[in-house]
């Protein structure tokens, strides 16, 4: 009986600690800054700002409430994240981008953007940035720059 309880506890903790939100945003070159955010099913979040192949410049551990995490997944659903292509490339080299990988109750999907904009991703990250505002974190993959191409 005790063994069964321990097994259930371990499985539950393991499920809770499984990363369900992963974001790597920023540099798509061999230099520059990149941000990474990992959130597990329990809302435990780890954020790092670091240079590519370089040291960590900033990090923070915080918790998102179950409601907040749920709202993020709902936003992912309504924005159409799970139906997006896996990759969008603007054609430029170096520059910035974002890789988002989500697991919403076993439904997994990842999207990569490089030097381009996709409205659904902009909408999702805008929502995420509002959730991260208390931590003074702004996920930046170049969406604030109106990139111009002649």
Partner 1 sequence: MKSASLILFILFVNWLQSCGPSRRFGTTIERDENNPCQINIIIQVALEGTDADVQAVKNDLEACYSKQCFIPCDKDSTKGCMTKTTIVVKKYGELKEEERDAYHYVYMVDNDGLPSNAYIGTPNAGASSGTWRRNAAPRVYCHEVLHFCGLEDKYCSRIYDPVKDSVIIELTCNPPPEPNGGNCCTPSATDTRCSTPCDGHDHNLMATVGADLSCQNILDIVRKAGLDNCPLECCASGKTFTKPPPEIHVTPGYLHFGDKNTSFGAYGGSTGISIKIKSSWGVGIDAGYYMHTEKDNTYKETSGILTITGGVKYTGNSPAPSKLIISGHAMAGIASYSQKVTVGNNSNKNTVTSAHLNIGAALDLKLNRFWNIRLLQLSYAPTFFYESTQHNFKANAGIVYKLQKR
20 contributes a contact to partner 1 by CB under 8 A: yes
Beta-carbon count within 10 A of 145 CB: 11
92 contributes a contact to partner 1 by CB under 8 A: yes
Q: Please state, in angstroms and rounded to a whole number, the distance separating the CA atoms of residues 92 and 98.
A: 14
Q: How far is the CB of 23 from partner 1 (least distance, A)?
A: 9
Token pair 């720059």 is found at 145
Number of residues engaging partner 1 in binding (CB under 8 A): 43
Closer Cβ to partner 1, 34 or 79, answer by number: 34
Asked if 139 and 128 count as a contact pair (C-beta separation under 8 A), the reply is: yes
76 contributes a contact to partner 1 by CB under 8 A: no
122 contributes a contact to partner 1 by CB under 8 A: no
Beta-carbon count within 10 A of 28 CB: 24
Instruction: Give the residue, chosen from 2, 30, 61, 106, that forms a contact with partner 1 under the rule CB under 8 A.
Output: 30
Q: How far is the CB of 5 from partner 1 (least distance, A)?
A: 27
Q: Which residues pair with 128 in a beta bridge?
A: none
Range 39-58, binding partner 1 (CB under 8 A): 48, 50, 52-53
61 contributes a contact to partner 1 by CB under 8 A: no
Closer Cβ to partner 1, 94 or 133, answer by number: 94
142 contributes a contact to partner 1 by CB under 8 A: yes
Asked if 27 and 47 count as a contact pair (C-beta separation under 8 A), the reply is: no
Q: Please state, in angstroms and rounded to a whole number, the distance separating the CA atoms of residues 75 and 73.
A: 5
Tokens linked to 112 = 């990569």
Element (H, E) at 8: helix 2-17
Closer Cβ to partner 1, 5 or 144, answer by number: 144
């Amino acid at each position: 009986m005790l063994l069964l309880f321990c097994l259930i506890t371990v499985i539950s903790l393991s499920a809770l600690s499984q990363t369900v939100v992963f974001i790597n945003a920023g540099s798509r070159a061999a230099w520059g800054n990149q941000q990474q955010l990992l959130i597990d099913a329990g809302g435990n979040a780890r954020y790092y700002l670091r240079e590519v192949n370089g040291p960590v410049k900033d990090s923070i551990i915080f918790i998102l409430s179950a409601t907040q995490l749920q709202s993020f997944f709902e936003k992912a659903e309504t924005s159409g994240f799970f139906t997006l292509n896996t990759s969008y490339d603007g054609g430029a080299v170096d520059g910035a981008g974002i890789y988002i990988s989500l697991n919403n109750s076993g439904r997994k999907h990842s999207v990569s953007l490089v030097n381009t904009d996709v409205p659904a991703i902009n909408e999702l990250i805008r929502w995420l940035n509002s959730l991260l505002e208390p931590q003074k974190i702004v996920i930046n993959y170049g969406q604030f720059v109106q990139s111009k191409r002649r």
